[in-house]
Amino acid sequence: MKKRETNHAAVRVGILGCGTIGAGVARHLLAQRHALAHHLGCPLELARVADIDLAGARREGLPAALLTTCADEVLRDPRIDIVVELIGGTTAAKHCVMDAMRRGKHVVTANKALLAKDGLRLHTLAQAHGVDLFYEASVGGGIPIIKALREGFVANRIDSVFGIVNGTCNYILTRMTAAGLEFGQALKEAMAQGYAEADPTLDIEGHDARHKIGILASIAFGQWIPQPRIYVQGITGVTALDIQCANELGYVIKFLAIAKAENGGLHARVHPTLLPAHSMLANVNGVFNAIEVNGAPIGTTLFYGRGAGRDATSSAVIADIIDVARNVGLRSHKRLPAFAFAARPRPLKPMAEVCTKYYLRCTTVDRPGVIAAISRELGSRNIGLTSVLLHETARGARSTILFMTHRARECDMQAALAAINRLPVVKAKTVMIRVEPSDE
Ligand code: HSE
């Protein structure tokens, strides 16, 4: 058998942040060092682990000689080639990542908020200093979606990337659908199960998903998408009634993050979405994530797996460490750049210009001509209907009328909604949820 080409100099790793993920990564690097060295062709040495609180690291049994409370002992150690940032947050983490790169160290991070906010600046700095910046664990936990976009699909023109990227929200919607729970009950259950954070705001208001689709869209389209340009609507307004109504129409409500290239422009958005009940994404349940990528010549691909948790996230962090270590060991940095800028950036479309299909639930008085009055407001703004469903109503009670529309512009729908809600026959604010797929 031909002997594997080896480079005997060790590649050294320093970890900043020894919480659940940091400790998982450290333990794996120590336990698997022989297998990793064999795989790489050179030793991969965990040189230092820093955290301001080392209690967790000690509980995990990490060797005391590796531990320090001082991040600078990692950043300033000239022997360390790769800094793994697992501190979280965007202040100290940003400082450490930038300092590491300025000192010529490669960086691996799981920090989606940092990348989403400062990805362009960090990539520019990485290029200026000739170092790698990898962040597979920032989106989709253990699903290798970033590597797929960066490398596997390098031959493709990407048309869209979208999916379920927040496990907490998917768990909540799954429980609302399966057990008829209201949002608050399902959230409590998610917290009791340990899926939702003590402060679940980032998840349920959609900011976590916005970070993730920002990163995926930026890589897919080769231009860094500023977070404020991504439309976001969380799941706090989704009700058991709408889930049930969607179900009657043959749909499931999922929380989607969507980025599309259309008509020479790009847009990205995060919101609750009706999906046909038979579609693959509609059947992704619990805390699982799934991301669909459409491109040419590849067509449609779907990635599915655990989007969070120690094991899935550690798997992605270690994959990045090995990728960078190969570059270091074989001196093949920039084999494929972590981020390839598009030759010609495309304009970002505002949400008002985005076209989708829509579900409307109107609450009205029970009187002849109500459906006609609502349809008139839609029709006069060029919004056509694909179906109307009127729930059977007891005489004198409120009517619930469901409308499904053809593809229409968001600004036209918003104008129609305002007019519908002003109609004297309409007795509660009309619920609107966007429907996908909306291409046809
Ligand atoms: N809070 C995230 C989720 C996990 O629920 O998907 C970390 O990205």
Task: Note whether 369 and 382 are within 8 A (CB).
Answer: no
Q: Supply the pLDDT for residue 4.
A: 42
Q: Token pair of 199, please?
A: 């402060």
Ranges of the chain with pLDDT below 50: 1-7
Distances (CA, A) of 319 to 88, 259, 325, 333: 19, 26, 10, 16
Sheet holding 11-16, edge to edge: 67-68, 44-50, 11-16, 82-85, 106-109, 133-134
Helix (H, G, I), strand (E, B) or coil at 167: helix
Cβ of 364 closer than 6 Å to ligand 1, yes or no, is no
User: What is the whole-number distance in angstroms between the Cα of residue 140 and the centre of ligand 1?
Assistant: 8
Two structure tokens written together for 270: 């995060």
User: Which atom, in ligand 1's list, is nearest to the CA of 197?
Assistant: 1
329 lines ligand 1 (CB under 6 A): no
- Annotation says 2 is catalytic: no
Query: Does residue 167's CB lie within 6 angstroms of at least one atom of ligand 1?
Result: yes
| pLDDT score recorded for residue 329 | 77
Does ligand 1 lie within 6 Å of residue 138's CB atom?
Answer: no
- Enumerate the β-bridge partners of residue 390: 401
Query: What pLDDT, on the 0 to 100 scale, is given for residue 304?
Result: 98
What is the rounded distance in angstroms from the CA atom of residue 378 to the CA atom of residue 380? 6
Could you give the CA distance from residue 270 to residue 233 in angstroms, rounded to a whole number? 6
Using a 6 Å cutoff on CB, does residue 273 contact ligand 1?
no
What are the DSSP calls for 408-420, one per residue? EEHHHHHHHHHHH
Of 253, 307, 248, 306, nearest to 281 by C-alpha is 253
Q: Is 136 in the pocket of ligand 1 (CB under 6 A)?
A: no
Q: Whose CA is nearest to atom 4 of ligand 1?
A: 308
Residues 6+ apart with CB under 8 A from 95: none
- pLDDT, residue 393, reads 78
Give me the residues paired with residue 78 across strands: none
User: How remote is the CA of residue 403 from the centroid of ligand 1, in Å?
Assistant: 33
Degrees to nearest 5, angle at CA 187 with 183 and 189: 120
Find the 203 Cα to ligand 1 centroid distance in Å: 7
- The per-residue pLDDT for range 138-163, each reduced to its tens digit, is 999 999 999 999 999 999 999 999 99
pLDDT for res 336: 65
Query: How many whole angstroms from 204 Cα to the centroid of ligand 1?
Result: 10
339 torsion bin: left (phi>0), alpha (psi -120 to 50), beta (else): beta
Ligand 1 pocket test: pick from 136, 165, 168, 175 the residue with the most ligand atoms within 8 Å of its Cβ: 168
- The response to whether residue 288 sits with its C-beta less than 6 Å from ligand 1 reads no
Output DSSP code: residue 374: H
Q: Residue 320: CB within 6 Å of ligand 1? A: no
199 C-beta neighbours (distance < 10 Å), count: 7
| Residues contacting residue 355 through CB under 8 Å, at least 6 positions apart | 262, 407, 408, 409, 410, 438
- Supply the residue whose CA is at minimum distance from atom 7 of ligand 1: 308
* Atom of ligand 1 lying closest to residue 169 CA: 5
Tell me: the pLDDT tens digits for 186-229? 999 999 998 888 889 999 999 999 999 999 999 999 999 999 99
Whether the full predicted model's pTM is greater than 0.85, yes or no, is yes
Which of 342, 398, 324, 343 has its CA nearest to residue 80? Answer: 324
Name the residue among 109, 391, 107, 432 with its Cα closest to residue 272: 432
Asked if residue 437 has a cis previous peptide bond (ω within 30° of 0), the answer is: yes
Catalytic residue selected from 94, 105, 112, 212: 212
